[in-house]
């Protein structure tokens, strides 16, 4: 072990488990690629103001969780705690929204950084795959994104997840509700921190996990009773489209989520096997975000799914993904001449697309065969001086143990025939 360890709240992805993470990313990306979403990648850091404005001054993310630093050049940057604001920034900067082809549909995959109290499922470095559909107001778009996330989770084999759905209203009806809620909350017995929250982000108080707060919230005005006709009709359409697609969801009037910029449709995917860090993903409509960061009005909707928690959800359900062995053929040379010849065969096989590995470092037969078995290969190629003198290589089936000599020139064809 070296003197150094991964920083607090982080962990490394190492083989073989790392293959599961890649497969999860791939499983989430696949339905997006298949539905008109293009890949976007933005820097791991941005001007801190982008998040302050785009995520919201009153959110935990901005007030407590951001890694902020100043560069030698004097710029104030933040490691990205989320990627919606960066993606919108990139779309606006590249004028994609002006190409006359709305919505702009993009997906991303990458690291996020939040200075949180580390616990199972909550890390300081974690990974999300996300999707954004920018510039169009259409309930079918909201439904599409929820359906695609559902499809991704199901493709992974997950069953014990639920979709929570709510509407947060829009700039017409939400302010009226916000004021009514503030009136109600100001009559309660709350600590100073929560009182401050009542002033700046009262909807967030509904989300308070503490029993003492939840008890007082009985009888709080509900947003549902304040939604304007347009928001009600919009929400009803999203619900109908989901139902028609056979995607089950639960109406959750208390679902507000952390970000200030959400409007109308808001949703969360929760997994019942994860304990307190139960949200595996979430998202919603953010019609006001573009204007908040200096762009034109661009009604948009998106989600971000957490890769780390999705892997934990797989574990909770006892699902092992069917990941093909990284290596199909393992070559074991015995002696210098065999090393030269077999290395040539390995290169040939690799160029032909066969996943092949090699016993490096002049290992003895016993050790090399152990490595061959550990690699997951189905076939081993073994050659010593006597084999080479006869112009053959021993082809060993690692499952049955059966071994047959194959002419050197015919090895590649024979291997491919055996692997099917
Ligand atoms: P939570 O309520 O658990 O803090 P959040 O509302 O902050 O979640 P989002 O910002 O919506 O989460 O991010 C979407 C997803 O990213 C979450 O559902 C979760 O799977 C994942 N995620 C968020 N924060 C972390 C973290 N610190 N560690 C691991 N995964 C995370
Ligand atoms: Mg959080």
Q: For the full predicted model, state whether its pTM sits above 0.85.
A: yes
User: For residue 220, is it within any domain?
Assistant: no
Same domain, 267 and 399: no
User: For residue 34, is it within any domain?
Assistant: yes
Check residue 260 and give its pLDDT: 59
Choose among 236, 240, 242: nearest CA to 145: 242
Q: Would you list the DSSP string of 179-200?
A: HHHHHHHTTS---HHHHHHHHH
Same domain, 40 and 114: yes
Upstream peptide bond of 103 is cis (omega within 30 degrees of 0): yes
Check residue 259 and give its pLDDT: 62
Q: Which of 66, 81, 111, 126 to mutate to test the pocket of ligand 1 (most atoms within 8 A of CB)?
A: 126
> Under DSSP, is residue 110 helix (H, G, I), strand (E, B) or coil?
strand
**Whole-angstrom Cα distance, residue 214 to residue 228?**
26
Q: How many CB atoms lie within 10 A of CB 138?
A: 16
User: For residue 61, is it within any domain?
Assistant: yes
**Closest ligand to Cα 24:** 1
**Whole-angstrom Cα distance, residue 410 to residue 308?**
45
**Whole-angstrom Cα distance, residue 37 to residue 33?**
5
| Burial degree of 193 (CB within 10 A; 0-12, 13-18, 19+) | exposed
Check residue 173 and give its pLDDT: 92
* 373 within 8 A of 332, measured Cβ to Cβ: no
Choose among 317, 138, 143: nearest CA to 247: 143
Choose among 390, 199, 169: nearest CA to 285: 169
Q: How far is the CA of 161 from the centre of ligand 1 (A)?
A: 15
User: For residue 221, is it within any domain?
Assistant: no
The residue whose two tokens read 């999707």 is: 131
Q: How many CB atoms lie within 10 A of CB 383?
A: 26
| Burial degree of 202 (CB within 10 A; 0-12, 13-18, 19+) | buried
Total number of domains constituting the chain: 2
C-alpha of 63 from chain center: 24
Same domain, 155 and 265: yes
| Burial degree of 136 (CB within 10 A; 0-12, 13-18, 19+) | middle
Upstream peptide bond of 14 is cis (omega within 30 degrees of 0): no
**Whole-angstrom Cα distance, residue 408 to residue 390?**
9
Same domain, 116 and 251: yes
* 286 within 8 A of 255, measured Cβ to Cβ: no
Same domain, 301 and 353: no
Torsion of CA 120, 123, 127, 130, to 10 degrees: 90
| Mean pLDDT (10-residue bins), the chain, 420 residues | 93 95 98 98 98 86 94 98 97 92 97 97 98 98 98 98 96 91 94 90 86 91 94 98 98 78 91 94 94 95 98 98 92 96 96 96 94 96 96 97 96 93
Q: How far is the CA of 301 from the centre of ligand 1 (A)?
A: 17
**Whole-angstrom Cα distance, residue 162 to residue 279?**
10
Same domain, 105 and 235: yes
Domain range enclosing 99? 17-173+227-316
**Ligand 1, CB within 6 Å, residue ranges:** 82, 114, 116, 121-123, 126, 128, 257-258, 277, 279-282, 304, 306, 308-309
Same domain, 312 and 334: no
Same domain, 371 and 311: no
**Whole-angstrom Cα distance, residue 334 to residue 385?**
7
* Domain end call among 265, 283, 316: 316
Q: Which of 125, 279, 302 to mutate to test the pocket of ligand 1 (most atoms within 8 A of CB)?
A: 279
Same domain, 138 and 280: yes
Q: How far is the CA of 92 from the centre of ligand 2 (A)?
A: 26
| Smallest CA separation from ligand 1 atom 7, residue | 258
**CATH number, domain containing residue 62:** 3.30.930.10
User: For residue 312, is it within any domain?
Assistant: yes
C-alpha count within 13 angstroms, C-beta hemisphere, residue 11: 13
Same domain, 311 and 333: no
Torsion of CA 109, 115, 120, 125, to 10 degrees: 30
User: For residue 204, is it within any domain?
Assistant: no
* Domain end call among 284, 316, 348: 316
* Domain end call among 316, 338, 369: 316
**CATH number, domain containing residue 384:** 3.40.50.800
Instruction: Report which ligand 1 atom has the smallest distance to the Cα of 61.
Output: 7
User: For residue 323, is it within any domain?
Assistant: no
Check residue 325 and give its pLDDT: 83
Same domain, 41 and 74: yes
Same domain, 64 and 117: yes
DSSP 8-class letter at 63 = I
| Smallest CA separation from ligand 1 atom 8, residue | 279
User: For residue 194, is it within any domain?
Assistant: no
* 168 within 8 A of 255, measured Cβ to Cβ: no
């Amino acid at each position: 072990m070296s003197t150094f360890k991964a920083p607090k709240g982080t962990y490394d992805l190492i083989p073989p488990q790392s293959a599961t993470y890649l497969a999860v990313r791939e499983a989430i990306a696949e339905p997006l690629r298949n539905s008109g979403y293009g890949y976007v990648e933005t820097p791991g850091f941005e001007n801190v103001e982008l998040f302050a404005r785009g995520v919201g001054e009153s959110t935990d993310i901005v007030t407590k969780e951001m890694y902020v630093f100043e560069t030698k050049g004097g710029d104030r940057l933040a490691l990205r705690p989320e990627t919606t604001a960066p993606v919108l920034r990139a779309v606006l900067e590249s004028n994609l929204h002006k190409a006359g082809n709305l919505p702009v549909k993009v997906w991303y995959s990458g690291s996020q950084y939040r200075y949180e109290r580390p616990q199972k499922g909550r890390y300081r470095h974690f990974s999300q795959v996300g999707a954004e559909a920018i510039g169009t107001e259409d309930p079918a778009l909201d439904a599409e994104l929820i359906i695609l996330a559902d499809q991704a989770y199901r493709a992974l084999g997950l069953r014990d997840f639920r979709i929570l759905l709510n509407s947060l209203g829009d700039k017409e009806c939400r302010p009226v509700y916000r004021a009514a809620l503030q009136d109600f909350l100001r009559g309660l017995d709350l600590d100073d921190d929560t009182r401050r929250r009542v002033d700046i982000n009262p909807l967030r108080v509904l989300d308070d996990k503490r029993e003492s707060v939840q008890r007082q919230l009985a009888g709080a005005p509900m947003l549902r009773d304040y939604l304007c006709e347009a928001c009600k009709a919009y929400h009803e359409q999203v619900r109908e489209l989901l139902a028609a697609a056979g995607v089950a969801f639960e109406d959750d009037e208390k679902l507000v989520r952390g970000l200030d910029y959400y409007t109308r449709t808001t949703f969360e995917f929760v997994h019942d096997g994860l304990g307190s860090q139960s949200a595996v993903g979430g998202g919603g409509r953010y019609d006001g975000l573009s204007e908040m960061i200096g762009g034109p009005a661009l009604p948009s909707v998106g989600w971000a799914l957490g890769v780390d928690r999705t892997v934990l959800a797989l574990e909770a359900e006892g699902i092992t993904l069917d990941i093909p062995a990284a290596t199909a053929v393992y070559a074991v040379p015995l002696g210098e001449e065999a090393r030269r010849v077999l290395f040539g065969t390995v290169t040939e096989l690799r160029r032909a697309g066969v996943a092949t590995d090699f016993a490096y470092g002049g290992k003895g037969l016993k050790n090399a065969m152990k490595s061959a078995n550990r690699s997951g290969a189905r076939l081993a190629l073994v050659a010593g001086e006597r084999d080479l003198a006869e112009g053959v290589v021993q082809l060993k089936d690692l499952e049955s143990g059966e071994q047959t000599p194959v002419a050197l020139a015919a090895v590649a064809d024979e291997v491919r025939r055996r692997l099917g």
